Structure 1
Amino acid sequence: MSGTLLVRRAVHGATALGGGPRWRPSPYAVFGGLFWLVMSLAFWRVPMCCDFGQHAAVVERLKDDLLHPAHPMADLPGDGSAYYSPYAVLQGLFAQVTDLAGWQVVKVSGPLNLLVLLTGVGRFVRVLTPRPWAPVLALGAMVLLWGTRMAWWSGYLGLMSMTGNLGYPSTFAIGLAFWAWAWAGSLARGPRRRGVGAYVGLGALCGLVLLVHPISSVAAVIGVVAFAASGRKVWAWAATAATAALIASLWPYYSVFSLVGDASVDWIHRQLYSEMPQRFWLALLGLPALWLRFRRDRTDPLVLMFALECAVVAYGWVSGHYTYGRILGLTLVPLQFALAIELAAPRPWGARRGALAGAAALGACVGFFQLQAGAVVPRALDPIGFDQPPRWPDYGWAVGHMRRGDVVLTDGYRPTRSVPAYGVNLVAPAWPDASLDEDVRGRRLAAVRAYLAPDSTRRERAAIAHRYDVRWLLLSPGQKVPREAVVVDWSRRTGEVLARVGGAPRPHRDGAAPMNAPLIG
């Protein structure tokens, strides 16, 4: 009898051969690792689109001059640009050391950002509950329970949106935000005797989030405040706030506090408030779980976080500062995670929890097959015809004729957001930037419109080309080529035409350019 017990005890905590402790990966380590691999591949297969070119352009400018980078998209000074964050500076340094192009660095950053995000999610959920399957369910809810209308924006964590924004600073900042929430939770609910150093460290992390992506830091700070309000030693949190403010104020590239009240990009973000029920209704499945948490504890951090974030989003709508709508993606996190934690509770389940589980499973299926599946199912393997991520055209055919720093005049939506990624400049930047007065950008946009106007004269066009040192025109199929310009190449996919202003064209790589392009002037 004693021999049998001895054998059982030896095998229980040991490997079969070595006798050492047996390590078993947690469910989140397994499923999180698989998710990291699948989403990294999904991100890599999507070509440059949307804001990708902007962030690649930032890396290119820092690669050229790490200490005094130029404007991300124009041949202008870049002093004060909020794009030059600690995250971007590290990317620029990495580009200098490896000699990778800006777009390559952004692509490499995607899996690294996703790793920060996934580890942050796991740590945050473990602070809320020790249940081993809760992080897995939280990850599933976070990427699937959105809505049935596309919600594609930087900082949104649905599967489809992540295929485009994993390489962006917002993803890195949100990953750090989850780590900050986990840190705040451990301070609020840990031992009473915690040195002030822990609060200072949390403040440094919050300051970093503030510099990397200021709008995401709003949600990050809200989460920290929610834990502070639900915890102890409220006075100690002053060290966190002071440290965050100090870290942010010491950054030499731009002043984050100058962005407070800046309305230059509010018009862009107004669309965040459109069709909100269709974009986010599946996340509302978490409301019953959040209500249960509220009934158990009126100061529950997830409840406080959700209430405060809703208040900020509402303020953005009422005040017209629609940029605050950028935190909508993180506003869903308390709903999604409350649902996951409730469903991860050990059995027995009652009828209420069973109904909640059934609704969550149905919602996840609807979210996946209705909207998110195309993110991870390639078209070649797609039996249904899921919506796919955007596949913008590549502008390598055009920039291959240009020199680094050349100025391009174009008003096309896609080229204005793509060609700066290759180290060339635009006459008029596509986006507002703190380093460039909006009146100046407005005059440059007007100059582009005047140049491309069908009734423009050769003298007017020459004056604009001289003023902005224009070397190239990138024209859409419906735009006419000026008589003084020389057609160099064209895109077989989009029909866009590249023309050189003055001088002889360089040899092109993909065959002869069409010589029957329409002319103006």
Structure 2
Amino acid sequence: MPGRGRPRRGSGDPDGRDTMRNVKSRWSMRHPYLILSALIVLLALVFSIRGPWSGDLGMHGATIEALRRSLTHPGNPVVDEDTPSPYYSPYTVLLAAVARLFGWSALTVLDVVSPINVLVLLIGLWTFVRTLSTRTWAPVLAIVFILLLWGAQPWVWSGFLSFWALPLVMAYPSTIALGLTLLWWTGLSRALDAEPRWYRYLGLGLLGAVIALTHQFTFVIAALGAVALVVSKARGLSRLGWLFLILAVIEVAGLILIWPYYSFFDLIGVSDLDGVHRRLYEKPFLWYGLCVVALPALWLRARRNRLDPLVLLFGMSALLVAFGGLTGKYEYGRVWPGVMLSAQLAIAVELAGPLPASRRVRRAWIPATVLACAVGLVTQAGKLVYLAPSSLATAGARDGVNAYLKFPDYSWATRYVHAGDVVLTDDYFAQHVLPGYGVRMVLSVIWPDPMLPDRDARRVAQYEMMTAKDPARRAALFRQYHVRWVLEMPANWRIPTDLAPVASGPNGEWLYGVDENGNIVAG
């Protein structure tokens, strides 16, 4: 009789070697991805410390600052008006709660969350690619292609995740929404393959609603991917599975409807987003052309399975993009990331697996892909200047690699202007930066605000405030829009007054105070 705790003779694992081999096998499959992911998270950490304040960071900072002041009744994040805002998402509400708890500013909490968002994205990418391929290098190639296979001319846009954009968009809602989308697709794929369980679909409904409320454009891509997965696996879905799936869709719609900060469905059909998104169609080959090397991967997957989820996602996304270009509904250009992501994942999975039998195809495709990645790396590598010591990362060096997009620092103005104060200015950079400190504008001219009903009247009023020669009329408008400060650039425009400014900025800005009667006061 064998001794206690000793394996019996003839057992499949007499000394635990099979178990150790399984552990080593799992580690060998994961460690290339873990190493690359750790490097990217480290880069994200350095970028969050050394990277520039640029782009839409002021808008997201303004949203968190408004929620810091009042989680239940924040009002418009940029304009002194009691209106809802689509920027009030579960993501920004959570960050505002963290900021209130620890006493952090909006900019601090955005810096802290940046590498966390990247980590969530990498976890989502790993889990979803593993539903498509068990090959060790498929997730690794997916990271490389997602960051590099864009275009020969780098650019930054929310939701368009490339290595060039990474330092600027890490804290954006679009980045965490993409990470959650990949996790959502993973959960849906596994739920469709497994025995139906109500709690799985309940979780999928909750996560889908979070994505929809966090970044509406990313949710369009997420929904297309979900449809593609359901279509590809529909034959194996039982009646109970269909019932749970329908209930999950109802849950998403219900949670969206009860969200207290804004009405999601009021955003459908908004017409004033076309102008700002027209640029997405202006240079398509320069923006997205390197991804042409992924087309053979999609073709191979379509040949094997016409209902392949990546092929379906690519086709549906491309149709929406084309519809936007043909009809002038340029906001549909925000679905370009769906086109790119499906292609990038397809080529990662295909190149990690058995290659096409044709030697001619292999000889052409692999070098072309390597060349495309090299072009992508060269054109985007300028962002690595943020990693250099300050003595080397001079303004000239940053300008030389076209990487330095930092906006001017307006912290000097916050010694006088407080959160909630309204500032009149036409300066491009001030309108980007000051809202990040909780300062409000007469009009959000930088970011579209479809839920601000009097934006046209505000545009006219702002112009009149800046050009009015009648002090009484200007004072009346100041009182109407609660203007407490005027920030002017003397080289561009000057408020007609002989009074000295309260303060001047390092770039020639002049700051004037305004009293409760709408009169400019002496500094």
TM-score range, shorter chain: 0.7 to 0.9
Question: 265, 270, 275: which is aligned to 1:257?
Answer: 265
Does structure 2 retain, via aligned residues, the 8 Å contact 1:43–1:162? Answer: no
Please give the alpha-carbon distance, in whole angstroms, between the structure 2 residues aligned to 1:384 and 1:364.
24
**Residue 246 of structure 2 is aligned to residue 238 of structure 1:** yes
Does structure 2 retain, via aligned residues, the 8 Å contact 1:39–1:376? Answer: no
**1:486 Cα offset (Å):** 3.2
Correspondence 1:381-396 to 2 at 5 A: 385-396=400-411
Does structure 1 retain, via aligned residues, the 8 Å contact 2:484–2:513? Answer: yes
Alpha-carbon displacement from aligned partner over 1:72-126 (angstroms, at most 9, x marks no partner):
0121113x21111111111111111111111212222211111111111111100
Please give the alpha-carbon distance, in whole angstroms, between the structure 2 residues aligned to 1:67 and 1:341.
46
2:292 maps to 284
Correspondence 1:421-500 to 2 at 5 A: 421-430=436-445, 431-437=447-453, 440-453=454-467, 456-476=469-489, 477-483=491-497, 485-492=499-506, 494-500=507-513
Residues 270 and 485 of structure 1, relative CA distance in 2, 3 Å threshold:
farther
Please give the alpha-carbon distance, in whole angstroms, between the structure 2 residues aligned to 1:359 and 1:348.
15
The residue type equivalent to 2:452 in the other structure is L
Greater shift in the superposed pair: 47-56 or 468-477: 468-477
The residue type equivalent to 1:56 in the other structure is G
1:3 maps to none
1:165 maps to 169
TM-score by length of 2: 0.87
Task: State, as a whole percentage, how many aligned pairs show the same letter.
Answer: 36
Please give the alpha-carbon distance, in whole angstroms, between the structure 1 residues aligned to 2:404 and 2:181.
26
Question: 78, 83, 89: which is aligned to 1:73?
Answer: 78
Please give the alpha-carbon distance, in whole angstroms, between the structure 1 residues aligned to 2:60 and 2:493.
28
SS of residue matched to 1:418:
helix
1:87 maps to 91
Please give the alpha-carbon distance, in whole angstroms, between the structure 2 residues aligned to 1:353 and 1:336.
18
Please give the alpha-carbon distance, in whole angstroms, between the structure 1 residues aligned to 2:200 and 2:409.
48
**Residue 224 of structure 2 is aligned to residue 215 of structure 1:** no
Residues 432 and 7 of structure 1, relative CA distance in 2, 3 Å threshold:
closer
Please give the alpha-carbon distance, in whole angstroms, between the structure 2 residues aligned to 1:340 and 1:21.
21
Does structure 1 retain, via aligned residues, the 8 Å contact 2:155–2:287? Answer: yes
2:367 maps to 358
Please give the alpha-carbon distance, in whole angstroms, between the structure 1 residues aligned to 2:373 and 2:170.
21
Residues 416 and 348 of structure 1, relative CA distance in 2, 3 Å threshold:
closer
SS of residue matched to 2:500:
strand
The residue type equivalent to 2:199 in the other structure is G
Question: 51, 55, 79: which is aligned to 1:50?
Answer: 55
SS of residue matched to 1:332:
helix
**1:211 Cα offset (Å):** 0.9
2:115 maps to 111
Please give the alpha-carbon distance, in whole angstroms, between the structure 2 residues aligned to 1:95 and 1:36.
22
**1:152 Cα offset (Å):** 1.2
Please give the alpha-carbon distance, in whole angstroms, between the structure 1 residues aligned to 2:415 and 2:86.
29
**Residue 404 of structure 2 is aligned to residue 400 of structure 1:** no
Residues 225 and 485 of structure 1, relative CA distance in 2, 3 Å threshold:
farther
Aligned length: 489
Greater shift in the superposed pair: 382-391 or 404-413: 382-391
Please give the alpha-carbon distance, in whole angstroms, between the structure 2 residues aligned to 1:463 and 1:499.
17
**1:336 Cα offset (Å):** 0.8
**1:67 Cα offset (Å):** 0.6
The residue type equivalent to 1:48 in the other structure is W
Question: 302, 312, 316: which is aligned to 1:308?
Answer: 316
Question: 375, 378, 384: which is aligned to 2:383?
Answer: 375
**1:61 Cα offset (Å):** 0.5
**1:9 Cα offset (Å):** 6.8
CA root-mean-square deviation? 2.6
Please give the alpha-carbon distance, in whole angstroms, between the structure 2 residues aligned to 1:435 and 1:51.
18
1:519 maps to none
The residue type equivalent to 2:67 in the other structure is L
Question: 27, 34, 49: which is aligned to 1:29?
Answer: 34
Residues 216 and 383 of structure 1, relative CA distance in 2, 3 Å threshold:
closer
**Residue 109 of structure 2 is aligned to residue 122 of structure 1:** no
The residue type equivalent to 1:209 in the other structure is I
The residue type equivalent to 2:35 in the other structure is V
2:7 maps to none
Please give the alpha-carbon distance, in whole angstroms, between the structure 2 residues aligned to 1:355 and 1:375.
30
Alpha-carbon displacement from aligned partner over 1:136-171 (angstroms, at most 9, x marks no partner):
100100000000123310001111112111101111
Structure 1 unmatched runs, 5+ = 1-5, 506-521
Structure 2 unmatched runs, 5+ = 1-11, 515-519
Please give the alpha-carbon distance, in whole angstroms, between the structure 2 residues aligned to 1:442 and 1:348.
58
Please give the alpha-carbon distance, in whole angstroms, between the structure 1 residues aligned to 2:466 and 2:24.
74
Residues 146 and 480 of structure 1, relative CA distance in 2, 3 Å threshold:
same
The residue type equivalent to 1:115 in the other structure is L
